[in-house]
């Protein structure tokens, strides 16, 4: 059982390790302009974890291209000093690189103009008891930047604003309470003069929410819950829509039994997107609690939902629930990629989502209209289809196969052969989009499971799961646990697929050099041809890669960088030293052979072409 978390953390510390005269030269470019969009649009920098507000993870840099990527060499490395799962990526603003670690969430500022010297470091002093409350490893998906400030959301839910030049704390605020199971693994996203902040803890009966804080002061602007009364969810029963129809009054409360919505999950630990033209932010909500579906009859709204909101006041424009009454832990938090593409001869403003449940959804991001819903892993079997007929009372709903329904089987019954496993056909590891090919490049899991739900009672701060899982490679396939695919979201088709021995748990990067980068759990950084998928380059880093590949230019030269450090849900056995096959919510047994290919680590590896 998880120990209670101490409410007050110790004083946090920033250490300046380079003289002021040297750090001054490394001040982020254009930091005083307050124009984050201008910085994001500059391909020489990597200013936001997702590459841009649209979450495309596409770079216009092309010095490294498909003709010369085979010549890549390691330019330099940096050890983070932490041996747990390293998700997220560095940021580069001007001459400075910023990166954070897994717990204890140390932040480093590296001076690229001074051989990567540590300009400053910030060492949060967090109660280590929070580790026991964190699901699926102690990861952190990186810092954010805006207005000469670095924003960190710590594991204990403390949000900290740091001076980008000195590392000094400008303000801090608590976003949740780890004593009740609320923690954090995600980055935050700056929008206008706010930052958007989510919450983790779906396996502890946490009630999910998204919160906007003032960038300058840390004052809360608004908070939108995923479940509960309309006024607390910031929905308008008539103006907020679902598949084009008004959401109606009490839409969430009426989909739960009694007051279960208060411990109903719907956490917001994934990625966030923003369309400045439509002035809408997009994000997803996670699984309902508990994992035993028999204990929570109803659709459990609005867990498992894509939400579109006005960033100024948080009011919801539209919702779409992908997996009503989730029975498999298919959290709906994966990234929403915003692109403009032609469908049926008409240019549309699209939102593309590769959900854990194994379906890829293409929606109109202005209205929430569902345009395409197709399986992006052929192994998916829990549902036959998503109904696309607007006249049907099943419109937009997946059609569940009875043999794989954990609710229909009932408590204490082991349902076997469900595909995908709970970690989904893709977890949070983000896909990339290339406007040059019109294709999405998707790191996927090719994993199935056995799932046995059991009755569980709720106690604040204690696990609220209620299921036992086993995981294994998809049967009657290539024998591996992952694929890296190219996907056409206008037709719902796989263009090419590369089999991998293990799940592909790193974020992809597409570039104007006609190449796509991704990392593997064994530790390889790979580059492939964006059109054909042909492998052009591979390099074995010191540990498994669950970080997201990024690129930047400095001194007129293009670099590619990635964090390695095995962990996350897939690597939790190695990261936490677990050996029971059912530990790690079933992942320890499924990925047991990873220890034959990699070991713990924590390193940034930066690549470049030879001079």
Q: Residue-wise over 6-29: b if at least 16 C-beta within 10 A, else e?
A: eeebeebebebebeeeebeebbbb
SS3 440: strand
Active-site option among 12, 156, 329, 355 = 329
User: Helix H segments across 121-237?
Assistant: 230-233
Cα distance between residue 403 and residue 451, in whole Å:
12
Cα distance between residue 21 and residue 213, in whole Å:
33
Strands 550-554 and 557-564: antiparallel
C-beta of residue 345 within 8 angstroms of C-beta of residue 379: no
Q: Is the dihedral of CA 160, 164, 169, 171 positive or negative?
A: negative
Task: Give the DSSP per-residue string, 389-411.
Answer: -TTSTTTT-EEE-GGG-HHHH-T
Cα distance between residue 268 and residue 274, in whole Å:
15
Q: Is 156 a catalytic residue?
A: no
SS3 532: coil
Q: Of 161, 122, 125, 91, whose CA–CA distance to 16 is shortest?
A: 122
C-beta of residue 301 within 8 angstroms of C-beta of residue 253: no
Instruction: Name the phi and psi angles at 544, rounded to 5.
Output: -60, 145
C-beta of residue 48 within 8 angstroms of C-beta of residue 145: yes
Cα distance between residue 330 and residue 266, in whole Å:
11
Catalytically active residues are: 329
């Amino acid at each position: 059982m998880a120990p209670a978390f101490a409410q007050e953390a110790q004083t946090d510390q920033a250490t300046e390790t380079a003289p002021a005269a040297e750090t001054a030269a490394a001040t982020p470019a254009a930091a005083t302009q307050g124009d984050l969009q201008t910085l994001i649009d500059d391909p020489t920098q990597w200013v936001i974890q997702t590459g841009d507000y649209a979450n495309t993870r596409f770079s216009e840099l092309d010095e490294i291209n498909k003709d010369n990527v085979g010549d890549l060499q390691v330019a330099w490395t940096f050890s983070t000093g932490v041996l747990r799962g390293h998700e997220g990526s560095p940021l580069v603003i001007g001459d400075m690189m910023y990166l954070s670690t897994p717990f204890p969430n140390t932040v480093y500022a590296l001076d690229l103009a001074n051989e990567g010297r540590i300009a400053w470091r910030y060492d949060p002093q967090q109660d280590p008891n929070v580790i026991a409350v964190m699901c699926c490893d102690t990861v952190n998906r990186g810092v954010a930047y805006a207005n000469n400030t670095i924003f960190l959301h710590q594991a204990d839910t403390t949000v900290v604003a740091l001076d980008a030049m000195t590392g000094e704390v400008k303000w801090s605020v608590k976003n949740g309470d780890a004593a009740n199971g609320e923690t954090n693994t995600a980055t935050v996203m700056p929008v206008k003069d706010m930052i958007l902040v989510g919450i983790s803890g779906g396996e502890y009966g946490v009630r999910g929410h998204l919160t906007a804080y003032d960038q300058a002061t840390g004052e809360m602007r608004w908070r939108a819950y995923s479940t509960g009364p309309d006024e607390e969810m910031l929905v308008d029963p008539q103006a907020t829509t679902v598949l084009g129809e008004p959401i109606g009054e009490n839409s969430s409360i009426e989909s739960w039994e009694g007051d279960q919505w208060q411990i109903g999950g719907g956490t917001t630990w994934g990625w966030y997107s923003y369309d400045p033209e439509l002035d809408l932010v997009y994000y997803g909500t996670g699984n309902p609690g508990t994992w035993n579906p028999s204990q929570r009859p109803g659709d459990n709204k609005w867990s498992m939902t894509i939400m579109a909101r006005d960033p100024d006041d948080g009011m919801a424009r539209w919702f779409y629930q992908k997996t009503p009454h989730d029975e498999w832990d298919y959290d709906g938090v994966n990234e929403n990629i915003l692109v403009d593409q032609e469908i049926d001869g008409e240019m549309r403003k699209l939102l593309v989502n590769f959900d854990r449940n194994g379906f890829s959804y293409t929606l109109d991001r202005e209205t929430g209209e569902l345009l395409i819903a197709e399986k992006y892993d052929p192994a998916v079997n829990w549902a036959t289809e998503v109904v696309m007929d607007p006249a049907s009372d099943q419109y937009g709903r997946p059609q569940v196969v009875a043999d794989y329904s954990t609710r229909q089987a009932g408590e204490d019954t082991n349902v076997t052969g469900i595909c995908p496993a709970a970690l989904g056909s893709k977890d949070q590891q983000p896909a990339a989009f290339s406007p040059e090919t019109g294709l999405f490049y998707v790191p996927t899991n090719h994993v199935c499971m056995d799932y046995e739900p059991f009755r569980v009672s709720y106690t604040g701060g204690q696990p609220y799961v209620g299921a036992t899982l086993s995981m294994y490679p998809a049967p009657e396939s290539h024998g591996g646990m992952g694929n890296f695919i190219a996907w056409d979201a206008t037709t719902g088709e796989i263009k090419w697929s590369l089999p991998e021995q293990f799940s592909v748990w790193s974020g992809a990067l597409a570039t104007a050099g006609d190449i796509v980068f991704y990392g593997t759990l064994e530790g390889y950084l790979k580059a492939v041809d964006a059109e054909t998928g042909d492998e052009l380059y591979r390099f074995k880093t010191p540990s498994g890669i669950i970080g997201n590949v990024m690129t930047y230019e400095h001194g007129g030269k293009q670099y590619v960088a990635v964090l390695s450090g095995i962990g996350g849900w897939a690597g939790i056995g190695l990261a936490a030293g677990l050996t029971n096959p059912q530990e790690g919510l079933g992942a320890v047994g499924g990925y047991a052979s990873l220890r034959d290919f990699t070991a713990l680590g924590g390193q940034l590896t930066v690549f470049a072409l030879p001079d």
